Structure 1
Amino acid sequence: MDKILKQDELWTKNLVTFVLKHIPYKKIHFYSKCLEISCNGIAWLSCWIAFIWVFNWESYYELQLNVLFGLILDIIIIAVLKAICRRRRPSVTTDMYTLGPDQFSFPSGHASRAIFLLMFFVVLHPVHALLRMPIVSWALSVCLSRILLSRHYILDVVGGMAVGVFEALVITLFWISQSTAANIINYVTNDYLPDGGEV
């Protein structure tokens, strides 16, 4: 295992060095930071809950709750795996605030989240064809940016991508139907009267 990790560190260093020879560091850093923010777990979770609250339309309930389930599942799985594996992040990571399990590197939470969202909006609940290529490009760019920002090693990102695929499979197995989603959201938002009638 030590040999594999050392080789992973070497491959990561060589990849970053190669890219920086062809693209200025400031440009790479700026775009990578934007991608990092765009796939932040807390931002996605809070914005998605706000999306459910603001766009309280029954036709969206199935989509909204299944994505929310996936985002929560992602946070739990990544936190548990990081706590178990406890691989340290690259030593050059200095401009990132980490807390608890997030101080560890394997697997990448950004990569798992990006691939889960890609799988969801391209495979499980396909969006319009015009939106699929931007989603694929964004997700793969997020994964690559984790390496170029020196947040993760290559195997951390590959592991995160595998977790994202696994999460999509779990969501498929436990898919929340439209009627169930409507019941859950109506219950949480108190749209039922005490006597069982709807508002």
Structure 2
Amino acid sequence: MFLFFNQSYCRMLEESFFRDRTADFVMMFLFGGGLMVFFGLFVNLLFLGQAFTLMLVYVWSRRNPFVRMNFFGVLNFQAPYLPWVLMCCSMILGNTIWVDVVGMGVGHIYYFLEDVFPLQANGYRILKTPHFLKVLFNEHIDNNNPPWVGDRPGGFQWGADEGENLGAQAPNVGAGDGNDANLRR
């Protein structure tokens, strides 16, 4: 079940929030994996695959707060509650909750450092992707901001081209007035 969660939420994160930002996606993996190994030493965990999956689920669920979820056709809830539902299922099955706590904790730390703190009044991005990762994945180096920071709702910049408004009349290109400026538009 966790392999399915890992594949599907990893794909959804990559297709939506990390589109054209592969180096940032790998940076999330490296940050999460390193922090999980560090916390795993204190709670004596040897296998952290389930914690890594829960980290991905946590980040996806916090970035999609209005998505309605249905768990086995029995329970309906909003996406931010999905990690908690998975932790309850893990407890019902008799597993230790430390794996889930480590995964959710690391996911929350990543979410806070990447999505909450930079938007505060004196906030800035703490987790910056190293230059060598951007070169390795052939990304544009000048694109440091996540795509959702500063975007208009919906992500489209309708009517924002050079001061033109939607519904404005197009220039009369075929008039034959000899003005090449109209032809270049």
Instruction: Give the alignment's TM-score, normalised by structure 1.
Output: 0.41
| Structure with greater proportional strand content | 2
Instruction: Give the alignment's TM-score, normalised by structure 2.
Output: 0.44
| Structure with greater proportional helix content | 1
Higher RCO by CA contacts (8 Å cutoff, separation 6 or greater):
1
